[in-house]
Amino acid sequence: MAAESNRSTPAADQELGYELIRKAGPLELLTHLFHDLGIQSNVLVCAEYFKDGQLLTKSKVLEALAKVINDHPALSIIGVSQPSEIKEGNHRLWEARLPTLRIQDCVKFLTIQGDVDLALVFENAHSQWFDTKDTTKPWWKLLVINGRYAVFVYHHSIGDGLSGYAFHRSFLTALNADEMSSEALRVTAHDTFLIQQPVKMPTPSPFDHIDGKLSWIYIIYCFFFWSILRFFVNQKYFLFSDAIFSKDYPSLAKPFPAEMKTRTKVELLRVDGDTMTKCLLECRKHETSFTALLQTLIQVTLAADFYPKAKLGFSRLAVNLRPLLRVNPGRDVFTNAVSTYYRVQPLGRYRSCANERSPSQAPVSIQDITIDVPTVWELAKAYKQDLNRATYKTGTIMQDFLVCKILDRDMEDVSFYGHGTFQNNSFLISNLGVFEPREDMADGGWSIKGVGFSAGAVRATLSDFGIVFDVASIKGGNCLISATYEEGVLKDEMVKEVVMALLARIKLLI
């Protein structure tokens, strides 16, 4: 699937304006269809840059960005449709490389009066869809806000959330470099910069570095498990049973029109650095992780405060596969190497950790809610142990990634049937962990004082139709949790209350 293109010639490339590289992998195909059909828009990773009161000027940004693009071949990659080699009339997605990138297509400088509302910035960014039919423009954009914030917005086919960290590590390193490469930029008329691309290949597909094989027995087992569960258990006994959404979803022949594309809502939870430091110390003390603790607290909050009749809680966790591959590509690369850990848990014990309350009563302060501290830590430890077994012993995490290989086909043959069976009524946690600069970075004075991560909501009928918790943090600094959901599916006030309750319970634990 990562085979080199053998049907692209220099003459053809010059005429098309791009160079065919290789067939797109199954994850790239899925995210491409999600985007083009209006199911999910994009991913973003934001960073706040600081240097003794200085701002990110246009010239500084463009110089640094030139180095970043030369560091990461994926930033010049787009997807193009090519005739199928299997079935006449079908099409296969290929990755192609743009020879140059116009800066006006890549960077936008914005000024916002007053305090910057990052939640609104994220929502607006998710509402902007890339024109993938225009094969002259890249599938990413950098938004520079007030000379402080750099919001890297990108098509999910380019990379996962950790790829956004790779971008900012490279950008920060470039800002701190003593001198810029004179070959990186070429100025033309109309203040247009053309960035010359080096002859580099993108990072190989993760599937090329996995020894295990897809188990059809595992696929059949999962299908029957979820089908039986959905058939015999009433919807009212699941989380997010009050979600409102259409059961229609698009197809390649009938994509959503612009006005029907998925709109993302964002609610932010900021955990201050002092609270995070204490919380991480307690996590280590109780042999668990912040991610496992967050999953536990979400289950407690939803079960006790919002869905008192729910019997089963479905959760999903994004797991970084890079360390599990035969060849670890490292953290400074763009790739899609994330699997999902599924859990189905009875909610009785979680609900018992807090006093039930009326769903209309907003938890506005710590005094409004309660928490059984020992039991919470016990549940968080157990979740961490189960995750470790699924990752390193049973191979479940890798199997859930290999399942994507069934999508390795023509675009017309991809079916979304059954996606909701696995994901409806669940919540998802995607934690990028702590942002760390490159170790070999020069000391140029620039630093990053805050980060944020957010992925556009996926159409409810095909996905969780719950809340997605995207987590990013700075060592010793704030942790920003972006709670995203599809507009109109859940009540905005309810999501705000969930976020407030989570913060209150985190503080009760320390």
Tens digits of per-residue pLDDT, 23-61? 999 999 999 999 999 999 999 999 999 999 899 999 999
Q: Flag whether pLDDT at 254 surpasses 70.
A: yes
Q: Determine the pLDDT at residue 189.
A: 42
Mean confidence (pLDDT) of the chain? 90
Which residues sit opposite 43 in a β-bridge?
Answer: 154, 455
Distances (CA, A) of 325 to 10, 66, 228, 330, 502: 34, 30, 33, 10, 34
Q: Flag whether pLDDT at 178 surpasses 80.
A: no
Contact 253, 325 (CB under 8 A): no
Phi and psi at residue 339, to the nearest 5°: -105, 180
Share of the chain above pLDDT 70, in %: 90
Contact 501, 301 (CB under 8 A): yes
Confidence of residue 204 (pLDDT cuts 50, 70, 90): confident
- Summarised one tens digit per residue, pLDDT across range 463-507 is 888 899 999 999 999 999 999 999 999 999 999 999 999 999 999
Mean pLDDT for 292-300 is: 98
Contact 168, 152 (CB under 8 A): yes
Q: What is the CATH number of domain 10-203?
A: 3.30.559.10
Q: What is the CATH number of domain 207-331+338-407+422-436+451-509?
A: 3.30.559.30
Mean pLDDT for 167-186 is: 76
Confidence of residue 357 (pLDDT cuts 50, 70, 90): low
Domain boundaries, the chain: 10-203, 207-331+338-407+422-436+451-509
Confidence of residue 2 (pLDDT cuts 50, 70, 90): very low
Confidence of residue 408 (pLDDT cuts 50, 70, 90): confident
Distances (CA, A) of 267 to 9, 88, 370: 48, 46, 23
- Summarised one tens digit per residue, pLDDT across range 62-100 is 999 988 998 899 999 999 999 999 899 999 999 999 988
Q: Flag whether pLDDT at 338 surpasses 50.
A: yes
- Summarised one tens digit per residue, pLDDT across range 445-475 is 999 999 999 999 999 988 888 899 999 999 9
CA angle (417 as vertex; 412, 421 as ends), nearest 5: 155
Confidence of residue 418 (pLDDT cuts 50, 70, 90): confident
Q: Flag whether pLDDT at 183 surpasses 60.
A: no
* Nearest one of 475, 480, 469 to 448, comparing CA atoms: 475
Contact 36, 129 (CB under 8 A): no
Q: Same CATH fold, 207-331+338-407+422-436+451-509 and 10-203?
A: yes
Contact 147, 27 (CB under 8 A): no
Q: Is the pTM of this model over 0.95?
A: no
* Edge-to-edge strand list for the sheet holding 193-196: 100-102, 193-196, 185-187
Judged by average pLDDT, the poorest of 118-122, 187-191, 197-201, 446-450 is: 187-191
Q: Determine the pLDDT at residue 120.
A: 97
Q: Determine the pLDDT at residue 17.
A: 82
Judged by average pLDDT, the poorest of 122-126, 194-198, 225-229, 503-507 is: 194-198
CA distance linking residue 458 with residue 426, whole number of Å: 12
Helices (H), 235-338: 273-285, 290-301
* Nearest one of 261, 498, 289 to 391, comparing CA atoms: 289
CA distance linking residue 265 with residue 483, whole number of Å: 8
Confidence of residue 107 (pLDDT cuts 50, 70, 90): very high
